[in-house]
Structures are given as C-alpha cells and as structure tokens.
Amino acid sequence: MGGLFGDRLSYRHAQMLAVSLVAVMTAISLAAPPLISYDPAFGLLRWNALLQRAPFDATLRPDPADIARDIVSVASWWSPGQYLAPGVLTLSGLRLGTAIVAVAALSNLAALLGWIAVARTFDLGPGVALAAAALIASFRYASSAYGLYSGGEILLQGATPWIVLAAWRIPQATAGFAAALAFVAVIGGFMAKLNGLIITGAALAASGTLALYQLRRITPGMVGGAVGALAAAALVYAFWFAAKPVTHFGGGGEGFDAVRLLFALAAPWTAALSFQDLMVWLWQTPGRVVLPGDAAMVGLCLAPLAAVLAAAFAFDRNAPENERRLRRFALLTLAGFTGAMLVLYARNAPVPLSERHFRPVSMLLFLCLLAMALRPSTARALRYGVLALFGALALYGLASFSGRVISAQRQSADATSGTLQPAADAAALAAIRTAFAAEGRDALFYLGAPELVAVLPYNARMIVDAPALTTEAAIAAALYRGRVKGSLFVLVSNELPAAKVAALLRAFVDYDPAAWQKSVYDRATVYRQ
C-alpha cells in the first residue's frame, strides 16, 4: 500500500491521526450540547431507577392505576450499556451532556484504533489504516454521535473491531484463553447493543469455519471459544431474556416481503458510509419528500449502489492473499449476520429498515473495498470512483457535524444537564425544578418529550412520554387514575396540537378538567393542579 502514500508511513501515524481527529471533534462538541434521542432517553429512566435502588435494569414509574404509588416494570428492549456508559460518568460530577460527548469520543476512538488494529492484523498496510481512520471519523454515524446520543449504536461501533479481532484470534488460542476471550466478546457485544449478540455470533462462526476449512481439524481454541460463547449466551438468556417480557423476536413489525429481503442484501454494502442517511436527507426530508416509502429508498437508492460495489468486489481478481483472508472472513460474517436478520424479519420482529442495524458487518466490507481502492494494481477508474464515493460521504458527514454545531448554538440548551431541549425553554424548566425543590417526591411531573428525562433530579417522580409521536386516540386511551399527595405538573411543547393537549389533560381522570392552572412560556406550557 506504500505506492500511493509513500514508504514512510506507519500504523502509528494512523493512530496519531485517530487521536487528533477525535480530540478536535470532541473539543468542538463540548461547546454544542447534545440531544438525547428516543430510545436512550427512556433508557435513562432505568439509570434513575438504579440510583433509587430499584432492581437492575428496571424502570420505577407511577402506576397508571394509581399514580400515587410507583411500580417496577421490566422489558428486554434495550441492553444496559446505553445508559450505564453516560450514567457512570455522571457519578464523577460530569453533566449528562458532557458525559454523552465523552461516550461518543471514547467510542469513536475505540472504533478508529480498533479498525487500525484490524488493518494491521490482516496486513493491509499503514496507508489503508490511515485512510480508514480519516474516513470513519468523518462518516455521519461517527460525527453525529457527538451531538445526537443514540445509545447502543455508537457503543457497538466502538466494540465491533475488537469483537472482530477476538473472533479472529480464538481458533489459534489455547482453550482457556479462547473461552475467556469468547465470553468477554459475547458479554461486551450484548452490553453495547442487543445487535452485538448477532455480530459476535456471526464473527465467531465465520472465524471458526475458516479455521476448520484451512486446518482440517478442530483446535483447542475452537472448543474453548465455543464453550465460552455458549456460557456467555446462557448467562444473558437466563438473566435477561428469560427474566423479562421478550419484545424483539416477533410481533409488531411489518412482516417479511421482497423489500426487506432486498434491503438485507443491499444495506451491508452501504451502511458503513451512512449512505441511507444522505438519501433520506435528499429525498425524504419532511416538506420535500420525493421518494416516499421504504420500497423506493431501497430499490432506487441503496440497491443500485450496493450492486455496483458488490460487482467491483466480486470481479476484482488482483487481491493478494492477505486481502482474500479478510474478504472470506467478511463474507462469512455477512452471511451469518444477514441470515439472522432475515429470521427476525420473517418472525415479524419490529426492526425498521435502517442501515444502522447492518453497520457492524458493513465495516468489514468497507475495509475490503478501501484496501482494493488503494491498491496500485486496481484499475484507475475503479479506484478513483470508489475513493470519490467515500470522500463524498465523508464530506457529507463533516458538513452534517458542522451544521449540527452551528444549529446547536441557536437552540434551547439546558444549562443544568448540558443537553439540548427543543421542546422546552429555560424558564419552563426552571419552573418545574423549583416545583420539585418545594414539593419533592410528593409532586408528579408529566414530561411531554423523551429528552426531558434529563432535566429533573433522578429521584423525581415523572412520567416521560412522546405525545408528539402518538395519535390523539392513543393519548386519550392511556388513562391515569388516582391523585398524588402534592401537585401534578404537565409540561408540553407549545407546538403540540391543542386537541392532543386536551386529550392528555383528560387522561388524568381523577383531576378536574376545568381546574388546571396554566403557565405559558416561550417554547412550552406547564399545567398544574
């Protein structure tokens, strides 16, 4: 790979670039508060409950049948890493927003250093490692993590290359070390994101299959790895899935169809580039929807690009043996991962058609394509075409990062938590904080946007909801009975339609609909009774 970059490069240069890029983006992001997205916002309720000594990974919430008392509820929707990572950092005194930026920085740094290590393990060369660090740090899923906390997505991004390295090493390791390594890989993947279980299983199976084919025997490492992985999987099942309502594997989805099959085949080739993000921004932004629906996005955007990249991959006959090893490993991992996702689709699992689910395995294909593009023997048109594509998506990621930083300066930020709060202004937040200081746990707070979970102390009694994303009929059907000892506060965005607000207030059936006291602020309204 030295032909394109010269012979003075080393893997240390790639590591230094990775550290520098993360440091710069982190420093910029510390001045632009992050927004907490839907899933991790509800996950933080579990962190709050944990601080109140509730059972691990449970939510402590008001009982809809009697809001004067709390109940413990559990579900297997999200792995615990998404709230433990920032939560533990806040114990040191960091504001939640600062902790979120730190999680993004550490995860991105782990990802960059990990993929550099993968490039070194497969002897792809310092040039590939350097280019991979620059590109991966710039793609939108990495650059956006500093400003939009999506929980497990960025954690798994940081864990994936290390899972890959562990899986690759296990067949050649001693039985004991392989068992420990596989156990840690499975638990680590699970802690980052439930998807991590699939990527870990697929990588372990791919590595074992390749080793078995090459060596024609079962090694102690394969046996130890299988034992360690099965032990970790049994532990996760016993203490997680078996102990909770299972919500991932059936029901609630849109069923299996040709669009999902095509998406599962196409997404692994484009997910590492955040290509779907760009296409959604171009063609499906509210107000200028040109390609409505999943079928148009998959058939007209993702599938054509995936076909071109897959063809370039398939017809490249000049790959040296080190690249071929990585390709075989990537394709086997892809086969296992895609097969598991197709099973989930077939079981009508509620898994949306989003590239983020396929990003871990896509990173392996990206590294293969990058090595091909930087190889001097690759045809010039193919090389420049692939590099231009990667460069364009990197520029999109950096533009998105810059736009987010600029827009954050104009949005409503909560100084106490260090997070963006677009649904409420500082005065409204100050009002509910003052109310909590006066009434404590005698009061109950209904917060009408998930990100608002960050603005009250962990021991405040709150109902966190998303009425803006819920139908009026669903709001009216979600009834709350009983009365609390103190005051009931309902905070909603001023952009919430009046009909939804009325339905929400009526949902508290034991409160007089005509007795609400209303305080209107710039972005939000607080109702009190």
pLDDT of residue 486: 96
Q: Cα 171 to the chain's mean position, in Å? A: 30
Domain ranges for the chain: 249-378, 421-528
Q: What is the CA radius of gyration of the chain?
A: 25
Asked if 420 and 464 count as a contact pair (C-beta separation under 8 A), the reply is no
The encoded tokens of residue 527 equal 């109702």
List, for residues 49-98, the tens digit of each pLDDT value.
999 999 888 899 999 999 999 999 887 678 899 999 999 999 999 999 99
pLDDT of residue 246: 61
Kindly tell me if the per-residue pLDDT of 176 is higher than 90: yes
Kindly tell me if the per-residue pLDDT of 247 is higher than 70: no
C-alpha angle 74-93-423 in degrees, rounded to nearest 5: 60
The model's pTM is: 0.93
The residue written with tokens 């490993």 in the block is 329
Kindly tell me if the per-residue pLDDT of 1 is higher than 60: no
- Kindly provide the b/e burial profile for residues 187-214, where b requires at least 16 CB atoms within 10 angstroms of the residue's own CB: bbbbbbbbbbbbbbbbbbbbbbbbbeee
Q: Residue range 254-279: average pLDDT?
A: 91
Type of residue numbered 430: A
- 10 Å CB burial of residue 8 (0-12, 13-18, 19+) is exposed
Q: Residue range 308-314: average pLDDT?
A: 94
Q: What percent of the chain has pLDDT over 70?
A: 97
Q: Which of 144, 207, 161, 166 is nearest to 361 (CA)?
A: 161
